[in-house]
Each structure stands twice: as structure tokens, then as C-alpha cells.
Amino acid sequence: MTPQNPDSRARLGLRESATFDRTTIAAIQRAADTGIYDIRGWGAKRALPHFDDLLFLGASMSRYPLEGYRERCATDVVLGDRFAKHPLHLDIPVTIAGMSFGALSGPAKEALGRGASEVGTSTTTGDGGMTPEERGQSKTLVYQYLPSRYGMNPDDLRKADAIEIVLGQGAKPGGGGMLLGQKISERVAAMRTLPQGIDQRSACRHPDWTGPDDLTIKINELREITDWEKPIYVKVGASRVYYDVKLAVHAGADVVVVDGMQGGTAATQEVFIEHVGIPTLAAIPQAVQALQELGVHRPAAGGAADRKGVQLIVSGGIRNGADVAKALALGADAVGIGRLQGLALAAAGPEGVVHMLKLLENEVQCVLGNLGLTSYDQLGPEHIYMEPDTVNPPHKLSAFPLLEEGY
């Protein structure tokens, strides 16, 4: 008799293997059929330590909540006041992460810019360059300087409000990307000076530098081109975060962006997405430790009001205001969001972008109020409860060992 249901299969000893589960077997069959590796978008699908493993220690006898209807908390943030003449001032600690023009359409990028401007935050260009519509609709626009240089234009550097040098993305540290031919419209092709309708690979490393010393030179070059006006960010995909953050600060970055393994991508190899890099939750403490050791992590909050800091933006898997607040509590100054805004846009159009940003801000306000805090930088790991066995708490970095040498 052929077994009809899982119970009868189990009685015959036909259990599904945890190692070779259905998804794995399907992947093996697909690979055998095609002989090529999988390239896909989105982000890691495996279960990873995440913000859900953290809980807030809310108000109680020992901590008094704010009265939410009368007392507000300060959640605005200044980014890039270390060296830039014109630092950014964001009303909310959430910024829209760089997404390529090509992966996203022109109207989508424009809608993100309009939504971000309405709530007083910034949006970011991406691979493929800056469109006039996006620039026009974004009050504060960060211009990405990427390994591929697709769409790179020195005039656009000057039109931007900040520059983000992308060294890597959390979904694919050290990896390049792929834009499918069907997305290479006439306009996308023209901006990238590549043929229309043909798959485009984007490079994994910058053509003109190979290490941290070159990064110092590049940062200075970009500062010169833009008259030392614009904050310079350095974005890294989370892997050797402690060292990368230290090197970025030494090279002169005003802001460091750390994108964790959960981060979204337009497309890259599955093997990168699922097996390269470390989770956002593990990356933040390493970044904070590096900044603290250099004396540039929230110096004003620590009483050094005269000392300028280097701000930390964290991205990768942010889904709601609780995630934002938890990232801030672990030491981020702001978070970047990618897929969340894409989903909001797809669900409710341009209005969805505004709704989502406002909701994130309100939820952060709720958490801060509950904890009785009046400013985001008062949030710290002491406001968080975590199960030591399920996550990698800040004091237990050894779960993701720091390498002693080599970067």
C-alpha cells in the first residue's frame, strides 16, 4: 500500500531529513538539471538571530514612563558633523537605503524621495546613478559611489547632500550583483552606458583601490570635489565589522553604514546570500565596540559635548519600529530600510511610504516613552533583555570570534 499521509510515511520510517530537507533536495535537483548556480533577490531565508530575540525592559516600579500625549522624545539625528561643512539633520532616525535605479523604476525611486522628504528624512541613490526626478523630489539625497560606477557622474556628486562609498552589502559582502536584461530599459542602459536588454553584472570591487590606504585617498578626493561640504559615509557588508569600522573611521568617514546579513538585495548568488557575512544583531556590537574604542561613539551622550562623533547607521532586516528601537538601543544612531519601503510602496503606493516612515517614528516614540527616555541616545543595552543562549549579546562577542589579524 502506498503511504497517503505524513503519519503513515513516518510509521514506515520515511521521515524527512533535517539535512536533506525538501528545499535542499529541490535545490539539488534544480542544480543537476541546469548546472548553474542560483542568482536571486530578497535576502537570507534561513533563520538567523534577529531583533525578535530581544525584548525591552519596560516601565515598572523602578522606571517611570513618559506621558505619551504630552511628553515627546527627541528622535532627530545629526549625521556627519565630524568633518563636513553641511551635516545632515534628519527628523527621524530612519533613512531609506540605497536601491538601484534599474532594480527599482524611476517612479518608485521618485516616490521614495517624496515620502522621505515629507517626514524629514533622507533617501539614497543606488547602482545606476541619480535621476533628475529622484533628485528633484528628495529634500535630502545621499549619492552612492559604487564599485560598478554605473551611472557615476561627478556633477551628481555635487548635487547630492551626502556621499556614500559602498564597499559592500550585507546580503553579499565581497560580491557583485546582477541586473537582468528585462530590467535594462533604454534609459537604464543609457545611464550605465551598457547595451539594452542584456544581463548586467556589477563589479564586486572598486577599480582604483585595493585597501584602506586607497580609501583614505578616495575620501579626500571626494571631499575636494565637493568642497568639504558633504558628509562621507562608508557602507560595509557585515563580516569583519570590528576591523572594517575602525579602518573606515581612520580613513576619515563621517558616518559608517553596517548592513547585516539579513539585508535585502536586488540579485546575487544564493551562496553569498545564505553563507557569507554575519547577522545584523551580531554586527552592531562589533561596530559599537570599534567606535567606542576610538572615542567616537555618541561622545555627546557620554558627556564629551565638544567632541564630534562618527554616526552608525545599521540596516538589514528592519521590519517595524521595535526593530528600529532595538538597533538604537544596541548603539546605532539611525537605521536604513530597503525591502520594508519596497513592500510599503507595493502595498499602498507613495502614501504607503509616508505611512510606514511615520509609523516607525511613532513606534520608536512609544518605546522611548515607555522606558521614560527623552532622547534616542539615552537608549542602551541596559534597556534590553536577551536570552543569553539564543542570541549573541554584546559582552559575548566570542560567539563570532574577532580575527586577530588579517583583513
The pattern of x and - marking residues 1 through 40 that bind ligand FMN according to CB under 6 A reads ----------------------------------------
Single out the segment in contact with ligand FMN by CB under 6 A; choices: 114-122, 290-298, 314-322, 323-331.
314-322
Among 66, 249, 287, 340, binds ligand FMN (CB under 6 A): 340
> Is residue 165 within the footprint of ligand FMN (CB under 6 A)?
no
CA distance from start to end of the chain: 59
Q: What b/e sequence results for 281-318 when a residue is b if at least 16 CB atoms lie within 10 Å of its CB, and e otherwise?
A: bbbbbbbbbbbeeeebbbbebeeeeeebbbbbbbbbbb
Among 147, 252, 263, 331, binds ligand FMN (CB under 6 A): 263
Instruction: List Cβ neighbours of 363 (8 Å cut-off, separation of 6 or more).
Output: 320, 321, 322, 324, 325
> Is residue 126 within the footprint of ligand FMN (CB under 6 A)?
yes
> Is residue 316 within the footprint of ligand FMN (CB under 6 A)?
yes
Residue 164 CB-density burial (10 A; 0-12 exposed, 13-18 middle, 19+ buried): buried
CA–CA dist 174, 269 (Å, integer) = 11
The pattern of x and - marking residues 271 through 310 that bind ligand FMN according to CB under 6 A reads ----------------------------------------
- Count CB atoms within 10 A of the CB of residue 18: 7
> Is residue 92 within the footprint of ligand FMN (CB under 6 A)?
no
Among 49, 98, 175, 279, binds ligand FMN (CB under 6 A): 98
CA-to-CA dists, residue 407 to 238, 240, 241, 244, angstroms:
13, 7, 10, 8
Size of the site for ligand FMN (CB under 6 A): 30
Q: Whose Cβ is closer to ligand FMN: residue 43's or residue 394's?
A: 43
Single out the segment in contact with ligand FMN by CB under 6 A; choices: 73-81, 93-101, 153-161, 345-353.
93-101
CA-to-CA dists, residue 191 to 109, 126, 158, 188, 203, angstroms:
15, 12, 17, 5, 16
Single out the segment in contact with ligand FMN by CB under 6 A; choices: 27-35, 47-55, 244-252, 312-320.
312-320
CA-to-CA dists, residue 93 to 20, 97, 324, angstroms:
42, 12, 8
Q: Whose Cβ is closer to ligand FMN: residue 43's or residue 309's?
A: 43
Residues that bind ligand FMN in the complex, under the rule CB under 6 A:
43, 97-100, 103-104, 126-127, 144, 166, 169-170, 235, 259, 262-266, 315-318, 336-340, 342
